[in-house]
């Protein structure tokens, strides 16, 4: 009996020791789980806050990119074509100002702000930032000279034909960013702020710190820990603040910047929040129950009824606490669902009020569209989502390429990470074809490869360009009438000679059948020549409606025929030299418009020779040479004159619209501008001008087609 009692006591002692050890081990594990849970929760909050800021910045950048794409980089000045997109961008993005700085130091301001004397945009931080990065970015906050408020500038460089021509920027008051960050509130003492990687505070609840203090100064214990910003994009730091409380600081780098969004909260408050939203607290209750169980074993069977009573009471308390926790979790879930619905409604509104048609496709089939797309294609939303991109496109594009083959190449580039902006022809519901500018981007969502297309109808712009092109042709009517007069002068003199010879033969009684037939045949040849001249000029003024293959050599000969009489009248030697040895060189474009380009350049060369001759009391020789060169893929036409050349300070301006070196009665300033538009925009070629030792050289480069 005594032996059994000792054995029982020993067994109870061993069980008690095992239970105590298990409790200690479980307690240590629980503490570790709590710490990792707190860190994960804080880093998740910092990441979500950083994503909110990134979404806001990306939306502002898209508006700035749209404004930059709406401006013609080759004509940056205080004109409606430049000012209107700047003012529209200010309204769309709620910017305080949208402006352009040029390499010449000129400021084009959408808010019509007049800079003070000596103001040079090239010395401003926004201009230097765009030049330094070479892409769209944003600056460190600075004081705006217009509003005297702290702003950040979104900037992007502008290029024309690969050449830097300026910087477009948009100011947004830092208060807009502050609202997005400081609206976060996770506990009584916790808050969010933004800091630059060196420690400079950019956004903080205490406005006295903004751009005036460093994080390691106001929190000295972070002196050695701020360096982690330069080594990782996110992380968590434990530190003791100046008020003596233990804090947790989680940070997440804002994409595309040196900024870090930080979330700081007292450690005890973070642990308290974790207990309310996780099962860690339940684990603590289990440990307490194990302690009660140990107490019951040690007291023995005599206290069993009391232990059962205490256990039941403690269990009831735990259940009540669980109910309270579940109620708090339900409230958190309801709040999260409400916020998510608000965000979803916000982005759906932005999607549907966009000025461009936006369509999302999966494997060419449309899966989503906005209201503008429904209006543009004149289909209902259900009908549009049953079609593919090729269903809404003609079989052939304006450049002659098959739509399916061209689209396959564009999609391949997009999958390789390239954002394509290109011109495309679509079909409306009635089969009417219309031109559009398309921005296409590929992305992946929920294991699906999707394509987002932003489509802008440019029918009015294309019609205006066509009318402008034809108007420029008609502007040459007066000069061409002079050319017709030159072409007809010699045939009319010859006809007069034939008529006079008939009269002389009659009076001299030498009028025979042979004489009459010879005179009639000669007169008929001259009349045929004059009729052919009229046909040549009539074809020149007839607008080309469709693109097609052009025989480059024949087009040059046609242009020479139109100008040869004027050249001969002004004693100018016009020569054509085919250095390729080929009988034909085929290119693709509008034949009539291309002949107009050649005539326009030849006319300018003639005027330059005549003007230079009048200044130098005549030229010993007046020459215009047309050289036809070629390579494996290119056909090259060079038009060279000895008219003295173009002043170097005007060489960059001659292709600008409405710019002319002649008087208003002699030129409209649209000839070379339209020539460049025809060669580069319509024929996918290149038109350049440069000076030689004696004059100017205009070079046209075009892609060759197979004969």
**Mean pLDDT (whole number) for 669-692:** 86
pLDDT of residue 93: 78
- Rounded to 5 degrees, what are φ and ψ at 430? -85, 10
> What local confidence, expressed as pLDDT, does residue 1 receive?
43
Highest mean pLDDT among 26-35, 208-217, 646-655: 646-655
**Opening angle at CA 118, ends 116 and 120, nearest 5:** 95
For the segment 542-594, what is each residue's pLDDT rounded down to a tens digit? 555 577 898 999 999 988 887 787 788 788 999 999 998 888 889 998 887 88
What is residue 534's predicted lDDT score, i.e. its pLDDT? 66
- 93, with CB counted inside 10 A (0-12, 13-18, 19+), is buried
Degrees, nearest 5: CA angle 543-548-553: 90
CATH H-level superfamily of 41-276: PAS domain (3.30.450.20)
Q: Mean pLDDT, to the nearest integer, of 10-28?
A: 72
pLDDT range class, residue 480, cuts 50, 70, 90:
low
User: CB count, 10 Å around CB of 150?
Assistant: 19
Instruction: Determine the Cα–Cα distance for residues 413 and 419; give it in Å rounded to an integer.
Output: 8
* Range among 208-212, 278-282, 312-316, 419-423 with highest mean pLDDT value: 208-212
Q: What is the mean pLDDT of the chain?
A: 78
DSSP string over 113-180: --PPTT--GGGSHHHHHHHHHSSSEEPPPEE-TTT-SEEEEEEEEEEETTEEEEEEEEEEEHHHHHHH
149/95 Cα distance (integer angstroms): 13
Same fold, 41-276 and 354-456: yes
Give pLDDT, residue 625: 94
Cβ atoms within 10 Å, residue 351: 15
Note the pLDDT of residue 485. 58
What pLDDT, on a 0 to 100 scale, did the predictor assign at position 699? 95
Answer CATH for 354-456 from 3.40.50.10950, 3.40.50.720, 3.40.1390.30, 3.30.450.20: 3.30.450.20
- The model's confidence at residue 665, banded by pLDDT at 50, 70 and 90, is very low
Per-residue pLDDT band for 39 (boundaries 50, 70, 90) equals confident
Residue 277, pLDDT score: 57
Q: Are 455 and 356 within 8 A, CB to CB?
A: yes
Q: Please check the confidence at residue 377 and state whether its pLDDT lies above 80.
A: yes
| Domain residue spans of the chain | 2-29+277-349, 41-276, 354-456, 466-703
CATH level 2 (architecture), domain 466-703: 2-Layer Sandwich (3.30)
Name which residue leads in pLDDT, 60 or 342: 60
Angle at 418 between CA 417 and CA 419, to 5 degrees: 120
Please name the residues in contact with 343: beta carbons below 8 A apart, sequence gap of 6 or more: none
Q: What is the pLDDT of residue 415?
A: 77
Please, which residues have CB within 8 angstroms of residue 568's CB and are 6 or more apart in sequence?
A: 486
Least confident window among 73-77, 230-234, 694-698: 230-234
Distance set, CA 375 to CA 360, 382, 462 (Å): 16, 13, 20
Residue 300, both tokens: 């023995």
For the ranges 154-163, 484-493, 498-507, the lowest mean pLDDT is seen at: 484-493
C-alpha distances in Å from residue 579, one per residue of 16, 176, 509, 585, 628: 106, 64, 56, 12, 6
pLDDT number for residue 666: 47
What tens digit of pLDDT does each residue of 319-366 get? 777 777 777 787 777 787 777 777 666 666 666 777 788 888 887 788
Residue among 698, 535, 485 nearest 603 (CA):
698
Exposure string over 13-43, b if 16+ CB within 10 A, otherwise e:
eeeeeebeeebeeeeeebeeebbebbbebbb
**How far is Cα 348 from Cα 52, in angstroms, rounded to an integer?**
16
129: CB partners within 8 A, 6+ apart: 137, 138, 139, 153, 155
């Amino acid at each position: 009996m005594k032996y059994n009692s000792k054995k029982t006591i020993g067994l109870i002692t061993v069980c008690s020791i095992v239970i105590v050890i298990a409790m200690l081990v479980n307690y240590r594990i629980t503490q570790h789980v709590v710490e990792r849970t707190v860190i994960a929760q804080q880093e998740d909050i910092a990441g979500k806050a950083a994503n909110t800021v990134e979404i806001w910045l990306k939306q502002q950048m898209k508006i700035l990119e749209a404004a930059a794409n709406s401006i013609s980089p080759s004509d940056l000045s205080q004109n409606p074509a430049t000012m209107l997109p700047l003012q529209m961008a200010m309204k769309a993005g709620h910017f305080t100002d949208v402006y352009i700085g040029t390499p010449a130091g000129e400021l084009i301001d959408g808010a019509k702000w007049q800079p003070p004397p000596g103001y040079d945009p090239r010395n401003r931080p926004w201009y230097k930032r765009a030049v330094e990065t070479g892409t769209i970015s944003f600056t460190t906050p600075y004081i705006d000279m217009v509003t005297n408020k702290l702003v950040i500038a979104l900037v992007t460089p502008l290029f024309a034909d690969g050449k830097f021509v300026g910087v477009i920027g948009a100011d947004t008051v830092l208060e807009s960013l502050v609202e997005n960050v400081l609206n976060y509130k996770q506990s009584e003492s916790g808050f969010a702020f933004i800091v630059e990687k060196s420690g400079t505070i950019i956004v903080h609840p205490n406005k006295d710190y903004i751009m005036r203090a460093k994080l390691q100064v106001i929190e000295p214990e972070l002196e050695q820990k701020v360096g982690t910003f330069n080594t990782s994009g996110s992380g968590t730091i434990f530190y003791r603040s100046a008020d003596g409380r233990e804090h947790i600081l989680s940070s997440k780098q804002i994409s595309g910047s040196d900024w870090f969004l930080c979330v700081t909260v007292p450690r005890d408050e973070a642990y308290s929040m974790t207990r309310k939203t996780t099962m860690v607290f339940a684990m603590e209750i289990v440990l307490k129950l194990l302690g009660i169980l140990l107490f019951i074993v040690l007291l023995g069977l005599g206290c069993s009824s009391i232990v059962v009573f205490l256990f039941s009471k403690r269990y009831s308390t735990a259940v009540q606490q669980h109910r309270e926790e579940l109620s708090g979790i339900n409230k958190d879930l309801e709040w999260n669902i409400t916020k998510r619905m608000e965000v979803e409604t916000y982005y759906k509104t932005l999607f549907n009020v966009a000025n461009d048609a936006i369509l999302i496709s999966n494997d060419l089939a449309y899966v989503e569209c906005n209201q503008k797309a429904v209006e543009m294609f004149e289909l209902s939303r259900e009908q549009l989502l049953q079609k593919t991109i090729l269903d809404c496109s003609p079989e052939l594009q304006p450049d002659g390429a098959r739509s399916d083959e061209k689209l396959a190449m564009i999609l391949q580039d997009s999958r390789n990470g390239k954002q394509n902006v290109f011109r495309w022809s679509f079909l409306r519901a009635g089969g009417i074809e219309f031109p559009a500018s398309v921005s296409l981007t590929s992305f992946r969502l929920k294991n699906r490869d999707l394509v987002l297309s932003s489509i802008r109808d440019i029918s009015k712009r294309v019609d205006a360009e066509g009318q402008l092109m034809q108007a420029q042709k008609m502007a040459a009517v007066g000069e061409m009438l002079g050319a017709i007069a030159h072409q007809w002068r010699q045939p009319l003199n010859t006809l007069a000679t034939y008529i006079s010879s008939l009269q002389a033969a009659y009076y001299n009684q030498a009028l025979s059948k042979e004489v009459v037939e010879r005179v009639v045949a000669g007169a008929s040849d001259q009349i045929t020549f004059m009729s052919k001249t009229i046909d040549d000029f009539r074809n020149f003024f007839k607008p080309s409606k469709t693109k097609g293959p052009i025989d480059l050599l024949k087009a040059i000969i046609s242009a020479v025929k139109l100008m040869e009489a004027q050249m001969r009248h002004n004693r100018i030697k016009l020569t054509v030299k085919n250095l390729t040895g080929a009988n034909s060189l085929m290119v693709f474009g509008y034949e009539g418009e291309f002949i107009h380009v050649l005539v326009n350049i030849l006319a300018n060369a003639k005027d330059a020779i005549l003007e230079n001759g009048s200044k130098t009391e005549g030229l010993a020789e007046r020459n215009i040479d047309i050289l036809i060169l070629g390579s494996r893929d290119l056909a090259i036409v060079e038009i060279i004159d000895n008219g003295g050349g173009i002043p170097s300070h005007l060489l960059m301006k001659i292709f600008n619209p409405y710019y002319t070196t002649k008087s208003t009665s002699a030129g409209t300033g649209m000839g070379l501008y339209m020539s460049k538009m025809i060669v580069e925009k319509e024929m996918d070629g290149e038109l350049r001008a440069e000076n030689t030792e004696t004059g100017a050289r205009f070079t046209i480069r075009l892609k060759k087609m197979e004969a």
